[in-house]
Amino acid sequence: MELSLFNILDILGTMAFAISGALAAMDRKLDLFGIFIIAFVTAIGGGTIRDALMGNTPVAWMENAAYVYLIGAVTIFAIIFRNKINYLKTSLFLFDTIGLGVFTITGVETGVSNNLDPIISIAIGAMTGTFGGVVRDILCNEIPVIFRREIYATACIVGGLAFVILHKLGVNTDIIYIVTSLTVIAIRLLVVKYKISLPSYHLLQNN
């Protein structure tokens, strides 16, 4: 099986969200399987709601056990290296941002390749990118990420808009994937970095 760039991004997003879920669950002192379940739900949440609402059922992870094994492996990795991962302090934030960027773009792509209206495709992208993190935070009794004034949604929508425009201009698909994923990630990172000296205590509290 040959992996397309789309598949690689999907795998990368799954891993990043699985790690962010595992970190959040460890933070809550869940047991082993509890950590796995939160990692799983965070990693597959966005794609699952996208598939369910579009009628692509059974949803992706049900037809490909590789997702479950991948998430299991990543979760074990996160548990073993939790001290090293946490050393970065902002790691949950970083992995969440990577997952957001990548999944937003795979969501937009799904809409575009199903010939849906551009604005619908952007909405599907925003939903795919944010849903896993929202569910993770609701299950962990956190204020959902979407609420932490970090331009979370804005990053998604700008990235989705860039995708739709570049696609209309006929730019090579692989280049679109990379540019727009990085756009979402860069916007969020820059905004948070820029805010560091200001009201960022709000952010640190929750991560």
Binding stretches for its own copies (CB under 8 A): 28-34, 36-37, 40, 48, 51-55, 57-59, 61-63, 65, 68-69, 111, 114, 116-117, 119-120, 123-124, 126, 130, 134, 138-141, 143-144, 146-147, 149, 151-154, 156-157
Burial of 198 (0-12, 13-18, 19+ CB in 10 A): exposed
Residue type, 20: S
Cα–Cα distance for residue pair 179/158, rounded to 1 Å: 12
Nearer to its own copies, 52 or 196 (CB): 52
Nearer to its own copies, 5 or 140 (CB): 140
Nearer to its own copies, 123 or 189 (CB): 123
Cα–Cα distance for residue pair 99/70, rounded to 1 Å: 15
Nearer to its own copies, 90 or 154 (CB): 154
Minimum gap (Å) between residue 164 Cβ and its own copies: 12
Minimum gap (Å) between residue 154 Cβ and its own copies: 4
Minimum gap (Å) between residue 97 Cβ and its own copies: 16
DSSP-derived letter for residue 55 is: T
Contacts 24+ apart (CB under 8 A), 189-197: 189/97, 191/150, 191/151, 191/155, 192/93, 192/150, 195/150
Nearer to its own copies, 30 or 178 (CB): 30
Cα–Cα distance for residue pair 110/167, rounded to 1 Å: 13
* Sign of the torsion angle spanned by Cα atoms 100, 105, 111, 117: positive
Nearer to its own copies, 143 or 175 (CB): 143
Q: Which residue has the tokens 């047991």?
A: 31
Minimum gap (Å) between residue 142 Cβ and its own copies: 9
Cα–Cα distance for residue pair 93/67, rounded to 1 Å: 22
In this structure, are residues 164 and 121 in contact, taking their beta carbons and an 8 Å threshold?
A: yes
